[in-house]
Structure 1
Amino acid sequence: MTTVTTRTVEYPADGLTMIGHLALPAGAGRRPAVLIGPEGPGLNDFQRRRADALAELGYVALAFDIHGGRWFTDPEEMLARCMPLLADPDRMRNIGHAALEVLRAEPRTDPGRIAAIGYGTGGAIVLELGRDGVDLRAIGTVNALTTGRPGGAARIRCPVWAGVGSEDPIMPPEQRDAFAAEMQAAGVDWRLVVYGGALHAFHHPTVDQTVLPGVGHHPQHAQRAWRDIVGLLAECLPVAE
């Protein structure tokens, strides 16, 4: 197995001290890098392992924080934090930019070869980075079919891949249609994969917390969605270039 080095990184954003997880691949040279945005409850070990897995593939990976080190187990508390954030593109962009600066500042990062992936709230944040014109090689999101300000998607400069469960009540068919219409009108190279029978947050294993209705793990589709994201990175951000 490839030797991966990890460390915690602290940085300010959204009036909080964010606590991210940086994973570095073996070797000493610069590598392409991936920003990873977590689900609404926050950054936990599952998301940190995503960064480690990408580092094993040869990427510098930063799983960024959105709640100042907190992981919400109470869905009402989580929604009270996330809903105002999701309604404020500037706050989302500020959180994303702060994490991106940390990733770019890492000496192992090739600053011209960065992609961003995200889940739920973290996915909405990386989409806003794209709408803000950030130079990314790819954007991948799961359960984050959020639409932006009118015309904003025209500033997206890379392919966008999005995955969603067919039975996700939080991202219903009309939301899928709105997202697709936004991407298509902006001329984005976009793809949308609908995973049959999957609920919201189907990609995340069950954890010891109260969950909202319409949320549930689908192990098979979770593996497929991860393979699809790794495939997106292999296409748009190959380790050897």
Structure 2
Amino acid sequence: MTTVTTRTVTYQADALTMVGHLALPAGSDRRPAVLVGPEGVGLSDVERRRAEALAELGYVALAFDLHGGRYLSNPEEMLARCMPLLADPDRMRGIGHAALDVLRAEPRADLDRVAAIGYGTGGAIALELGRDGVNLRAIGTVNGLTTGRPGEAARIRCPVWAGVGSEDPIMPPAQRHAFTAELQAAGVDWRLAVYGGALHAFHHPPVDHTALPGVGYHPRHAQRAWRDIVGLLAECLPVAE
């Protein structure tokens, strides 16, 4: 197993002091870099481990924060923060750009080879970076199949992969269709994977946020979705280029 170095990074975004998790692969050379955005509950060990798994594959990875170092296990508190955030593309972009600045400041990050992946709210932020015209090599979003402001999807300059559970009540078929129609009309290279029988946050191991209706862990599809994301990065952001 490759030796991975990790450190906590603090930075300002959305009027909060964010606490991210940076994972670096072995060596001292520049490597492609990946932003990892968490579900609406906030940054947890799930996303930290995914950043470390990406570092083991050779990427510089930053799991970014949404709530100023807090994990919002109370569903009402989480929704009260995330629903206004998801309705405000500029706020989402501000959080994404602040994390991107931290990633770009890392000397080992190859600034010309950056991707953004995320889950739920974190995936929506990855998409908004694309809609803001950020030079990304790939965008991956699980559960966060959000649509943007009219015409702005045309600024996305990279392939987009999206994954969703077939039984996700938060991202139902009508939302999936609106999302893919937006990307198709904009001429984006897009893919959608629908995981049969899976609910919202199916990729996330059971934790307290499963008290939310329509949320549930599906271990087999969680592994498949991760393999799909790794495949997206291998295609669009190979470690050796």
Q: Distance in 1 between matches of 2:157 and 2:180?
A: 16
SS at match of 1:179: helix
Which residue matches 1:22?
Answer: 22
SS at match of 2:208: coil
Q: Are 2:47 and 1:68 aligned?
A: no
* Structure 1 residues 218 and 210: CA distance shift in structure 2, 3 A: closer
For residue 8 of structure 1, report the CA deviation from its aligned partner: 0.2
Structure 1 residue identity aligned to 2:168: D
* Structure 1 residues 209 and 144: CA distance shift in structure 2, 3 A: closer
For residue 98 of structure 1, report the CA deviation from its aligned partner: 0.2
For residue 198 of structure 1, report the CA deviation from its aligned partner: 0.2
Contact conserved, 1:206 with 1:217, CA < 8 A, in 2? yes
1:15-68 deviations in Å (ceiling 9; x for gaps): 000000000000000000000000000001111000000000000000000100
Contact conserved, 2:93 with 2:129, CA < 8 A, in 1? yes
Which residue matches 1:99?
Answer: 99
Structure 2 residue identity aligned to 1:204: H
Q: Distance in 2 between matches of 1:209 and 1:235?
A: 33
Structure 1 residue identity aligned to 2:160: V
Could you state the TM-score of these two structures normalised by the residue count of structure 1?
A: 0.99
Which residue matches 1:191?
Answer: 191
SS at match of 2:211: coil
Q: Distance in 2 between matches of 1:164 and 1:84?
A: 22
Q: Distance in 2 between matches of 1:43 and 1:49?
A: 11
Q: Distance in 1 between matches of 2:205 and 2:185?
A: 35
Which residue matches 1:143?
Answer: 143
* Structure 1 residues 26 and 89: CA distance shift in structure 2, 3 A: same
For residue 10 of structure 1, report the CA deviation from its aligned partner: 0.2
Q: Distance in 2 between matches of 1:95 and 1:104?
A: 14
Where in structure 2 are the equivalents of 1:7-86 lying within 5 Å? 7-86=7-86
Gaps of 5+ in 1: none
Q: Distance in 1 between matches of 2:92 and 2:63?
A: 15
For residue 209 of structure 1, report the CA deviation from its aligned partner: 4.4
Q: Are 2:84 and 1:90 aligned?
A: no
For residue 180 of structure 1, report the CA deviation from its aligned partner: 0.7
Which residue matches 2:216?
Answer: 216
Q: Distance in 2 between matches of 1:131 and 1:168?
A: 24
For residue 212 of structure 1, report the CA deviation from its aligned partner: 1.0
For residue 210 of structure 1, report the CA deviation from its aligned partner: 5.5
Where in structure 2 are the equivalents of 1:173-188 lying within 5 Å? 173-188=173-188
Contact conserved, 1:74 with 1:210, CA < 8 A, in 2? no
For residue 211 of structure 1, report the CA deviation from its aligned partner: 2.0
Which residue matches 1:200?
Answer: 200
Percent identity of paired positions between Structure 1 and Structure 2: 85
How many residue pairs get aligned? The number is 241
Which residue matches 1:116?
Answer: 116
Query: For structure 1, which segment, 150-159 or 202-211, has the greater mean C-alpha deviation from structure 2 after superposition?
Result: 202-211
Q: Distance in 1 between matches of 2:97 and 2:42?
A: 17
Could you state the TM-score of these two structures normalised by the residue count of structure 2?
A: 0.99
Q: Distance in 2 between matches of 1:73 and 1:31?
A: 34
Contact conserved, 1:73 with 1:210, CA < 8 A, in 2? no
For residue 208 of structure 1, report the CA deviation from its aligned partner: 3.4
Q: Distance in 2 between matches of 1:222 and 1:189?
A: 23
Q: Distance in 2 between matches of 1:208 and 1:157?
A: 37
Q: Return structure 1 stretches of 4+ with deviation > 3 angstroms.
A: none
Contact conserved, 2:41 with 2:209, CA < 8 A, in 1? no
Structure 2 residue identity aligned to 1:126: A
Contact conserved, 2:210 with 2:216, CA < 8 A, in 1? no
